Structure 1
Amino acid sequence: MQPSKVAQRYAKAFYGLAADQRLTEEITADSAKIGALLDASKAFSDLVTSPTLEAADQRATLSKLFAGQAQPLTVRFLSFLCERDRLDQLADICAAVQVLYNQQQNILPVDLHTARPLAGAQIKEITDRLGKRFGKTIDLSIQEDPSLMGGFMVIAGDEVIDLTVRTQLATIRKNILNA
């Protein structure tokens, strides 16, 4: 899902400040941690999205929570979002920061779905071939799905490469029924 336009603007401004201070890797890591925390903790998610909490209370809690755990720039940015009443955009902003970092570093996130675990050599071969095909460094995320029966499926941005046995069998079945 694409981050909202508002989130993209805030992420671009935040990332620009980080670039000026040569902290892009650090704030990208902070954003990833915050995004993961939003996904994993209902209490944190409620803190960020609560319309009943005062901005000052949210700011104080976030400052205490992330002091020493995140870059000071990240903590100041969270305070800024509190002041602007934009904490509800935090998950999208974190995702947009990752997109900006990937673009700057020429990294392509790729999901690889397999029916069974792959050997290290197979993973390296797939990563190398995808890197050559797309001309980017591949950030591979592997998920096992036994329903695929065999083979694998690659999702890279808007492109899907489906080399699964399940799809091949469905194609054969369709061809036989239409013959």
Structure 2
Amino acid sequence: MQNPRLASRYAKSLVDLAVEKGQLEAVHADMLVLQQIAQGNRDVTNLLKSPIIKPDKKQKILAAILEGKVSPIITAFINLLVVKGREGNLPEIATEFLQQYNKLKNISKVKITTAVPLDPAILGAIKQKVAAGTDRIVEMETAVEPDLIGGFVLETDDKLFDASIQRDLKDIKKQFTENIYVPEIR
């Protein structure tokens, strides 16, 4: 993230405006669309960050891309960013908006990475365990990484729980290389 303070301030302003206008859910959906466009199309990101393309040209291109896909609040917000010269920060602002939305709605994102795809029943049980004891809504994201060999890696907010066989093997290797019971031979 290039400028987290700037992204946080613009996102907070947009959240406040959306709440004031009673359009938080619509703006949230629009920011998801913007994030998908920015992540899925490198040309759009390059357009936003380009110092060569003039602001009025950027506004026209963005209006053509987003026509009918976003609400008037987002259109006005993007125009404001272009006028202020902050359009290059739009992907960061979208990400920060989604984080602030989740905090406001008490939603916790949880990512679980396993060596093989999880059965839906097991995934539901894990989701229930993670949500137990909290008043948060849990949104699960799954990923498959065969390098883990077995077990799982669970990421939530600022915590990481690594119960993978890959990590266990690394720990065992480290114990063998740093064996304190075998005196060093010179």
1:164 aligned partner, one-letter code? S
Structure 2 partner of 1:147: 147
Tell me if 1:81 matches 2:106.
no
Unaligned runs of 5+ in 2: 182-186
AA of the residue aligned to 2:56: A
Which residue of 2 is the match for residue 6 of structure 1? 6
Q: Give yes or no for contact 2:113–2:153 (8 Å, CA) kept in 1.
A: yes
Partner of 2:59: 59
The residue that corresponds to 2:91 in the other structure is 91
Structure-1 residue corresponding to 2:111: 111
Determine the C-alpha separation between the residues in 1 that align with 2:2 and 2:106: 19
- Which whole-Å CA distance do the structure 2 matches of 1:175 and 1:42 have between them? 44
- C-alpha spacing 1:154/1:96, structure 2 compared with 1 (3 Å): same
Structure-2 separation of matches of 1:130 and 1:3 = 32
1:3/1:95 contact within 8 Å kept: no
Q: Percent identity?
A: 25
Deviation at 1:78, TM superposition (A): 0.4
For residues 125 and 146 of structure 2, what CA distance do their matches in structure 1 show?
21
Report what 2:184 is aligned to. Answer: none
Secondary structure of 1:124's match? helix
Distance 2:159 2:96 in 1: 20
Query: What CA distance in whole angstroms lies between the structure 2 residues aligned with 1:6 and 1:134?
Result: 31
Moved more, 9-18 or 58-67: 58-67
Which residue type is aligned with residue 24 of structure 1? L
Report if aligned partners of 1:111, 1:140 keep a CA contact under 8 Å in 2.
Answer: yes
**Residue 133 (structure 1) shift:** 5.2
Q: Which AA in structure 1 matches 2:81? A: L
TM-score (normalizing by structure 1): 0.92
Question: Segments of 4+ in structure 1 off by > 3 A?
Answer: 172-177
Aligned-residue offset at 1:2: 8.8
Alignment partners' CA distance in 1, 2:96 and 2:170: 37
Contact 2:45 / 2:88 at 8 angstroms: preserved in 1?
no
For 1:14 and 1:51, how far apart are their aligned partners in 2?
A: 25
Q: Give the letter aligned to residue 38 of structure 1.
A: A
Letter in 2 for 1:18: A
Q: Tell me whether 50-59 or 98-107 shows the greater mean CA deviation.
A: 50-59
Instruction: Give structure 1 stretches of 5+ with no counterpart.
Output: none
Comparing 4-13 with 19-28, which one deviates more in the overlay?
Answer: 19-28
Q: Report the RMSD for the aligned CA atoms in angstroms.
A: 1.7
What's 1:23 paired with?
23
Which shifted more, 108-117 or 42-51?
Answer: 42-51
- Distance across 1 between alignment mates of 2:3 and 2:128: 29
The one-letter code of the counterpart of 1:115 is: A
